[in-house]
């Protein structure tokens, strides 16, 4: 039998070599039949996007103060909302009078898309963006709304969208994880479970990196000689594999082995990633490194790092907010100073990211998503100072880059921006669209758990074709 099969062993070895990143990763991604033979991750159809950058606006940006202008709200400023439309109970139920936006709206770009003066730099990129003004959530509270946004289910313990993406496609670079979260300094409500693997194998959970020299704890080896660390890793590997041979396939052990190996490779790849000394002054200025606002500089570092991660083949990168002193975008009071501080921190870095990706030809294969977990009420919340309460019935989200029809506005809210009324869209639809652009059919990407084939979109979701090029 061995004699008859001997020529086949050489072919198997050759396929393994061709599947490795150094030898033939590009050939592997181009040849789907070879991919199937190797059992690697393959898309269901030709993808538009290779990577996703998710700009998570923790706390909920006010749609009527940013992307969804409402002249009627301005005209009826100070009136009782109860006299004009049906008012639902809110999270804190301190319902005041209708509150017009403190910021002026203007049209921008060839598309004439409306945007408030909160985002003067992002406004220069509207012709690359598709705005969805008819988003709605199913949860009025941060923790559940965050789980819904990140996992498609408003409960703790489900896989994050980044985990689903890497489960479906893997990473293009064996020296980096496929799913990276950049730590801006604030842990969102719901904690790290927003970024976890849930019931998927543990290797698909996010790796959390910081900007700066020490992006990851213990990234530099403590041992004096590389040989000592190699011996330790080999011994751990030997022990793990011995246990694996006794127990059979076991996710926790297999993931542990994989994570040890990846961690070792990251000791050289991550310091190189975070060393931005080679970036030009013009590039750093584009992102806002010269800003007098430390929060802008902090977010600029995240955006630049996101671009560098895309260049290295990381599939899903999520950016988180820095602490501007106003409790994220969650302005129940101090609406004007809070939204202005948060907008100033992210405006130039995000615009710089879009322009830099576009100049390098990377925007064509990178999908950017900007969103919080819900919106805000068009009426004031009565506290020590004026703010807005949570509003899950309407909010805005925009997408840019790979496969997106730039300059598009999709969906509408009512005259006051209170409820989504036309082309109502929720996160299941966005997840389906996101996967579609990656070449994945959201209906057919499933994982067997507790006797059921489960997917990111559960039993919901439709691709929003109207925002696609």
CB count within 10 Å of CB 234 equals: 10
Region 286-312: what's the mean pLDDT? 97
pLDDT of residue 172: 87
Q: Sheet of 95-98: strands edge to edge?
A: 95-98, 379-382, 386-387
Domain count, the chain: 2
Same domain, 156 and 141: yes
Same domain, 35 and 144: no
Same domain, 11 and 57: no
| Among 45-49, 210-214, 265-269, the least confident range | 265-269
The whole-angstrom separation of Cα 64 and Cα 46 is: 37
Predicted confidence (pLDDT) at residue 155 exceeds the cutoff of 70: yes
The answer as to whether 401 is a domain residue is yes
The whole-angstrom separation of Cα 179 and Cα 150 is: 13
Q: For the chain, what is the mean pLDDT?
A: 88
Region 161-174: what's the mean pLDDT? 92
Predicted confidence (pLDDT) at residue 417 exceeds the cutoff of 50: yes
Same domain, 16 and 150: no
The answer as to whether 218 is a domain residue is no
Contact (Cβ atoms closer than 8 angstroms) between residue 416 and residue 70: yes
Could you tell me the CA-to-CA distances from 232 to 32, 121, 262 in Å, in that order?
A: 38, 50, 15
| Among 65-69, 100-104, 237-241, 250-254, the least confident range | 250-254
Domain that holds residue 443: 42-213+275-467
The whole-angstrom separation of Cα 174 and Cα 28 is: 14
Same domain, 329 and 286: yes
pLDDT digits (tens, 9 = 90+) for 445-466: 999 999 999 999 999 999 999 9
Same domain, 24 and 133: no
CATH number of the CATH domain containing 166: 3.40.720.10
Region 11-31: what's the mean pLDDT? 46
The whole-angstrom separation of Cα 160 and Cα 155 is: 11
Predicted confidence (pLDDT) at residue 29 exceeds the cutoff of 50: no
Run of H or E including 396: strand 395-401
Same domain, 52 and 173: yes
pLDDT digits (tens, 9 = 90+) for 278-292: 999 999 999 999 999
Q: 398 — phi, psi (to 5°)?
A: -125, 155
The answer as to whether 427 is a domain residue is yes
pLDDT digits (tens, 9 = 90+) for 355-408: 999 999 999 999 999 999 999 999 999 887 899 999 999 999 999 999 999 999
pLDDT of residue 260: 63
Our measurement of the distance from residue 349's CA atom to the centroid of its chain's CA atoms, rounded to an integer in Å, reads 16
Same domain, 409 and 327: yes
């Amino acid at each position: 039998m061995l004699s008859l099969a001997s020529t086949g062993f050489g072919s198997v070895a050759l396929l393994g070599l061709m599947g490795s990143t150094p030898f033939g990763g590009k050939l592997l991604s181009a040849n789907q039949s070879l991919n199937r033979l190797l059992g690697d991750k393959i898309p269901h159809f030709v993808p538009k996007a290779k990577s996703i950058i998710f700009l998570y606006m923790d706390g909920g940006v006010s749609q009527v103060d940013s992307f969804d202008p409402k002249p009627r709200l301005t005209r009826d400023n100070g009136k009782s909302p109860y006299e004009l439309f049906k008012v639902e109970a809110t999270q804190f139920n301190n319902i005041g009078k209708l509150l017009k936006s403190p910021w002026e709206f203007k049209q921008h770009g060839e598309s004439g898309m409306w945007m408030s003066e909160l985002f003067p730099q992002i406004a220069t990129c509207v012709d690359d963006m598709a705005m969805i003004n008819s988003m709605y959530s199913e949860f009025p509270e941060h923790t559940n709304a965050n789980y819904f946004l990140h996992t498609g289910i408003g409960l703790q313990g489900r896989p994050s969208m980044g985990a689903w993406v890497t489960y479906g496609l893997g990473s293009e670079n064996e020296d980096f994880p496929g799913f990276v979260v950049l730590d801006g300094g604030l842990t969102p409500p719901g904690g790290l479970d927003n970024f976890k693997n849930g019931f998927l194998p543990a290797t698909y959970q996010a790796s959390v990196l910081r900007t700066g020299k020490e992006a990851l704890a213990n990234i530099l080896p403590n041992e004096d000689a590389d040989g000592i660390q190699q011996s330790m890793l080999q011994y751990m590997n030997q022990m793990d594999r011995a246990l694996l041979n006794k127990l059979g396939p076991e996710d926790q052990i297999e993931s542990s082995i994989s994570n040890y190996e990846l961690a070792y490779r990251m000791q050289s790849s991550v310091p190189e990633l975070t060393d931005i000394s080679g970036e030009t002054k013009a590039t750093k200025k584009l992102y806002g490194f010269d800003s007098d606002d430390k929060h802008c500089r902090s977010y600029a570092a995240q955006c630049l790092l996101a671009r560098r991660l895309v260049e290295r083949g990381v599939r899903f990168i999520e950016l988180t907010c820095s602490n501007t002193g106003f409790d994220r975008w969650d302005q129940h009071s101090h609406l004007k100073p809070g939204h202005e501080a948060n907008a100033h921190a992210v405006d130039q870095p995000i615009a710089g990211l879009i322009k830099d990706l576009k100049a390098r030809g990377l925007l064509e294969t990178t999908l950017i998503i900007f969103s919080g977990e819900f919106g805000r009420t068009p009426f004031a919340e009565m506290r020590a100072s004026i703010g807005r309460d949570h509003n899950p019935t309407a909010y805005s989200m925009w997408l840019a880059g790979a496969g997106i029809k730039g300059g598009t506005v999709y969906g509408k809210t009512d005259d006051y921006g209170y409820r989504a009324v036309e082309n109502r869209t929720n996160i299941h639809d966005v997840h389906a669209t996101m996967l579609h652009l990656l070449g994945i059919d959201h209906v057919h990407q499933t994982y067997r758990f507790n006797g059921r084939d489960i997917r990111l979109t559960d039993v919901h979701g439709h691709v929003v074709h109207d925002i696609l090029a």
